[in-house]
């Protein structure tokens, strides 16, 4: 199936049409555009030594009790805006006033492969590190650079009360916080408040993300995780958005003192209802949509996938992180609708 559904009953956004002969032939691959790169990878060498038993992991603990907050960056090696912010916190010698703070540089081996000439190639070394977070996979005999590293940092993840995973986007889109499927994730994202766009979803068919790990996905559990998508991978604004969100989380969780901050917009909460996967190498959007874009009319044509048309299944449909060059089997876009405001 090409369209997974979340909470929306009814017809799929995929409309099956009769293929034409030319549509059965694979088109030539689309070249990626040249992406603007305003930031460079940080020097993480001071933090990749053995600070606490695990290279690339730094802990600070306050004398007063409080939550264990874990911040992770570099789950994807070419998404280093979060690593810049964690490096900044460490160089500023930020210390929690209560509880415990753990900063994790998750995949430094992938970051080491980054080159401006081919910036997308260092997302991972052997496999996507954000698709391995299940006990079954982590306890299996299978080996890879990413799996071995996930196993190494797992003891820290297993003790987190609050986790925020720092990411960015290849294609243009409004910054947002992915809250997973639990109410605890939504509450955490709303508490952070910046960016105010909160999207709940059910993950990826290809495998569970870090925020989907069972410690955080148990609806009855006390632990919470969210994933920040702070903007374009290599934009200076993405670093500023990440820094603001991280400090907001640390203030609201009590690890940093509260301080006067400018008012932020009320959170807007949405739920992903459909995951559109490219079934053919000929998947093409009808125009270069941006993440966060609202399509007002039901039935609006979004893309052609071989013989199929992808249309909005309801009015006021938001596009979540459209992938403008999806390969066959990859997520092309997620469709979301606004959740009702709680009474």
Residue-wise pLDDT for 137-170, tens only, equals 999 999 999 999 999 999 999 999 999 999 999 9
Q: Does pLDDT of 75 surpass 80? A: yes
> Looking at residues 293-300, what average pLDDT do you find?
97
| Closest-CA residue to 84 (of 103, 102, 100) | 103
Residue-wise pLDDT for 170-182, tens only, equals 999 999 999 999 9
Same fold, 57-253 and 269-338: no
Task: Dump the DSSP string for 106-169.
Answer: --HHHHTT--TTSGGGGS-SSS-GGG--SHHHHTSS---HHHHHHHHHHHHHTT-SEEEEEEEE
> Looking at residues 283-298, what average pLDDT do you find?
96
For residues 220 and 232, give the distance between their C-alpha atoms in angstroms, rounded to a whole number. Answer: 34
Question: Could you tell me the residue ranges of all domains in the chain?
Answer: 57-253, 269-338
> Looking at residues 103-127, what average pLDDT do you find?
96
Q: What's the pLDDT band for 211 if we cut at 50, 70, 90?
A: very high
Query: Is CATH 3.40.630.10 the classification given to domain 57-253?
Result: yes
| Closest-CA residue to 160 (of 276, 251, 70) | 70
Lowest-confidence segment of 39-53, 99-113, 230-244, 281-295 by average pLDDT: 39-53
Residue-wise pLDDT for 16-64, tens only, equals 665 554 555 555 556 677 899 999 999 999 999 877 789 999 999 999 9
Torsion angles phi and psi, residue 258, rounded to 5: -65, 150
> Looking at residues 301-312, what average pLDDT do you find?
95
| Closest-CA residue to 320 (of 311, 308, 329, 332) | 332
pLDDT score of 119: 94
For residues 223 and 220, give the distance between their C-alpha atoms in angstroms, rounded to a whole number. Answer: 9
Q: Where do the H-state alpha helices sit in the chain?
A: 81-91, 108-111, 135-138, 145-157, 183-192, 214-217, 236-252
Helices H / strands E in the chain, number of each: 7, 16
Q: Does pLDDT of 262 surpass 70? A: no
Tokens of 156: 């820290």
How would you classify the pairing of strands 308-311 and 301-305?
antiparallel
Give the architecture (CATH level 2) of 269-338. Beta Barrel (2.40)
- pLDDT over 70 for what percent of the chain? 90
For residues 246 and 249, give the distance between their C-alpha atoms in angstroms, rounded to a whole number. Answer: 5
């Amino acid at each position: 199936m090409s369209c997974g559904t979340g909470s929306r009953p009814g017809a799929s956004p995929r409309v099956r049409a009769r293929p034409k002969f030319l549509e059965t032939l694979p088109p030539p691959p689309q070249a990626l555009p040249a992406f603007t790169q305003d930031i460079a990878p940080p020097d993480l060498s001071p933090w990749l030594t053995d600070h606490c038993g695990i290279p690339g992991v730094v802990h600070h603990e306050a004398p007063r009790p409080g939550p264990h907050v874990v911040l992770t960056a570099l789950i994807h090696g070419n998404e280093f805006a979060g690593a810049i912010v964690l490096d900044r916190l460490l160089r500023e010698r930020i210390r929690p006033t209560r509880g415990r703070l753990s900063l994790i540089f998750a995949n430094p081996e992938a970051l080491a492969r980054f080159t401006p000439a081919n910036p997308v190639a260092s997302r991972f070394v052997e496999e996507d590190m954000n698709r391995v977070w299940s006990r079954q996979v982590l306890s299996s005999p299978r080996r890879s650079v990413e799996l071995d590293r996930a196993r190494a940092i797992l003891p820290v993840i297993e003790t987190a009360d609050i986790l925020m995973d720092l990411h960015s986007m290849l294609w243009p889109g409004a910054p947002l916080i992915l809250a997973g499927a639990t109410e605890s994730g939504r509450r955490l994202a709303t508490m952070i408040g910046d960016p105010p766009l909160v999207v709940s979803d059910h993950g990826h068919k290809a495998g569970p993300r870090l925020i989907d790990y069972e410690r955080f996905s148990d609806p009855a559990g006390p632990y919470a995780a969210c994933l920040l998508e702070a903007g374009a991978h290599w934009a200076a604004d993405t670093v500023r958005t990440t820094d603001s969100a991280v400090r907001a989380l640390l203030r609201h969780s009590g690890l940093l003192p509260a301080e006067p901050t400018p008012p932020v917009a009320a959170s807007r909460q949405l739920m992903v209802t459909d995951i559109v996967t490219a079934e053919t190498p000929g998947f093409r959007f009808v125009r270069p949509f941006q993440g966060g874009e609202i399509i007002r009319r039901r039935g609006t044509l979004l893309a052609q996938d071989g013989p199929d048309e992808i249309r909005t299944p309801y009015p006021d449909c938001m596009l979540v992180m459209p992938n403008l060059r999806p390969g066959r089997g990859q997520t092309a876009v997620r469709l979301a609708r606004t959740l009702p405001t709680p009474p």
